[in-house]
Amino acid sequence: MAYYNHPPVDSELIKSLTARQNELQKQVVLQKPDFTLKVIAGCDSSFIGENILSVFVLLSYPDLEILEKVWHYGTIELPYVPGFLAFREAPNLLEAYKKLTQKPDLIMVDGHGISHPRRMGIASHLGVHLQKPTMGLAKEILVGKFEMPGPEQGSISPVLHRNEHIANAIRTKEKVKPVFASPGHLLDLETATKIALATTRKHKLPEPTRLADHYAEVFKAQVR
């Protein structure tokens, strides 16, 4: 197994990113949705060396037919800093988003919303920048503790961090590992959880982020 050592990060950069993240976090609004969900987007990013490829897939809701797929390939502007990955991903995701001819009612992001040490994961970043409802859908937790949900499909268990309920562990398929849904911006946890379950079909991952992940691999072939 190969281990990669990232170079030490400038402490001033960490201070600056922390301050920016805290500023952005103050703008996060968690609320029941005030929209009718007809178009949902999934988005994901894939790192290729010092470059990044970001994908948005638009789907109709509730039938989940693909309406549009766009991608953007760019250079990474920041070094890797744990807890600040959103600053590496967000600029390129925003460029990909500009290419959509139709805008979604809700964006499901492959990553975290408020289930983050400073409550500011990539889904919250995107939501604040775009002023759009967003939610995070992650394969692993970043912070917090939870008890494994029951083995049957639809079982849910809260993820708690510093006495806050920041996400739900959801068993989207019977006897498979749970996924983790959290609100990003202009959404609440209950709705994010319902949407994660409502958009799951044959696979463990809900269709918006599953398809974004799939097309990130497809489009990668075009830039190599």
pLDDT > 70 in the chain, percent: 96
Tokens found for residue 218: 């497809």
pLDDT > 90 in the chain, percent: 87
pTM comes to 0.94
**Residue 114 domain flag:** yes
Edge-to-edge strand ranges of the sheet holding 106-110 = 66-75, 51-60, 39-48, 106-110, 134-138, 179-185, 164-170, 156-161
**Residue 96 domain flag:** yes
**Residue 24 domain flag:** no
**Residue 22 domain flag:** no
**Residue 115 domain flag:** yes
**Residue 10 domain flag:** no
CATH number at residue 59: 3.30.2170.10
**Residue 119 domain flag:** yes
H-type alpha helices, the chain:
11-25, 85-98, 122-130, 189-198, 207-223
Q: Tell me which residue range forms the domain holding 175.
A: 34-223
Query: What total of structural domains would you count in the chain?
Result: 1
Q: Give the pLDDT of residue 175.
A: 83
Q: Is 188 annotated as a binding residue?
A: no
Q: Is 44 annotated as a binding residue?
A: yes
Tokens found for residue 186: 């202009």
Mean pLDDT of 17-40: 95
The structure tokens 């976090």 sit at: 25
**Residue 14 domain flag:** no
pLDDT digits (tens, 9 = 90+) for 178-204: 999 999 999 999 999 999 999 999 999
Q: Give the pLDDT of residue 8.
A: 62
